[in-house]
Amino acid sequence: MALGCNIWNMGFYACFIAYPLIYKPMVKENSTVKRITIASVVSAVVALQLGAFSVVLQTKLSGISELPFSKFLMLMQPIHLAIGIVEGFVTAGVVNYIRSVEPALVEHRATGGGFRKAVIALSILAVITGGVLSWFASTHPDGLEWSIKNIYGKTELDSTPSGIKTEFQKIQEKTALMPDYSFPSSDDESGSDAWPAPDPGTTVSGLVGGAVVLAVVVLFGVVLFKWKKKSYSHVKR
C-alpha cells in the first residue's frame, strides 16, 4: 500500500498534472533558460504540494493514525514548498544542460552526437550520485518525518502490526535483499547516525536500484513505442 501511495504522490502528479498542464504550456516551443527554470520550479512546487496534501489525506483516510489533520497539513505544506523550490532548480539545471548539448532532445526526438553525449554525462552523474554521494545523504528527518516529529516529538509513530499487515511485513523481512539500503547484518549498528557514512551496501543498493529503474523505464519505452507504431500502422491502412 505504501508503494502504491508513493507512486501516486510522487509519480502521478508530476507526470500527469505538473508536466502536461503546467510545464509544457509555460515552456511551449521556444524554450529559453529562463522559461525552463521558471516552469521547472513552478511544476515541482505544484507537484510536491499536491503530493504532500495526498499524504495527509491518505493518513486521515487510513484510520491507522491519530495525527490531527489540520496541524499535520499545516506542517507538511510549508516544508514541501521549500523542498519543491530546491527540486525545481535542480530539475531546471538538468533540463538546461540537456538543452545546451542537444536542444532537439528537449522538444522533439534526437539521436545525434548530442544525444549520446547527454546520456553518457547523465549516466556518469547517476553512478557517482548513487555510488558515492549517497554516503553523504542527510541524517536529518525528511519532510514527512519532520512534520510528524513536530507533532509527536519523534519521527515515527508507534504502531502494532496486525492482520494482513503483519503477514506482509514478515514477507518483506524474509525477501528484502538489502534492508535499509545496506547488506543484512546482525551487528548492532550503533553508529548509524554517523555522517558521512561510507558503506558498500549503500553503494551497491544505489547502483542496482538505479539500474533496475533504468531497465524498467527502457522496457516501458520499448513497449509503448511498439504499441504506438502498431496503432499508427493500423490507422494508416
pLDDT, position 80? 95
Query: Side chain identity at 126, as an amino acid letter?
Result: A
Binned at pLDDT 50, 70 and 90, residue 159 comes out as low
Asked whether residue 14 is domain-assigned, the answer is yes
Asked whether residue 50 is domain-assigned, the answer is yes
Asked whether residue 173 is domain-assigned, the answer is no
Asked whether residue 27 is domain-assigned, the answer is yes
Per-residue pLDDT, averaged over 7-13, amounts to 92
* 26 close to 35: Cβ distance less than 8 angstroms: yes
Sign, Cα dihedral of 65, 66, 71, 73:
positive
Provide the domain limits for residue 57.
Answer: 1-113+142-156
Binned at pLDDT 50, 70 and 90, residue 48 comes out as very high
Cell numbers for 35, please give them: 522559461
With 70 as the cut, is the pLDDT of residue 150 above it? yes
Asked whether residue 226 is domain-assigned, the answer is no
* 79 close to 23: Cβ distance less than 8 angstroms: no
Q: Mind spelling out the 3-state secondary structure of 13-32?
A: HHHHHHHHHHHHHHHCCCCC
Asked whether residue 202 is domain-assigned, the answer is no
Cell numbers for 127, please give them: 553512478
Higher pLDDT, 91 or 197: 91
Asked whether residue 4 is domain-assigned, the answer is yes
Asked whether residue 201 is domain-assigned, the answer is no
Cell numbers for 202, please give them: 549503500
pLDDT in tens, 205-233: 889 988 998 899 899 989 988 888 887 77
Query: Side chain identity at 189, as an amino acid letter?
Result: E
With 70 as the cut, is the pLDDT of residue 188 above it? no
The residue count of the chain comes to 237
Binned at pLDDT 50, 70 and 90, residue 40 comes out as very high
pLDDT, position 186? 47
pLDDT, position 162? 65
Instruction: List the one residue out of 83, 109, 82, 84 whose CA is nearest residue 98.
Output: 109
Per-residue pLDDT, averaged over 144-149, amounts to 88
pLDDT, position 34? 93
78: cis peptide before it, omega within 30°?
no
Per-residue pLDDT, averaged over 142-169, amounts to 79
Lowest-pLDDT range of 50-59, 84-93, 156-165, 184-193: 184-193
Number of structural domains (the chain) is 1
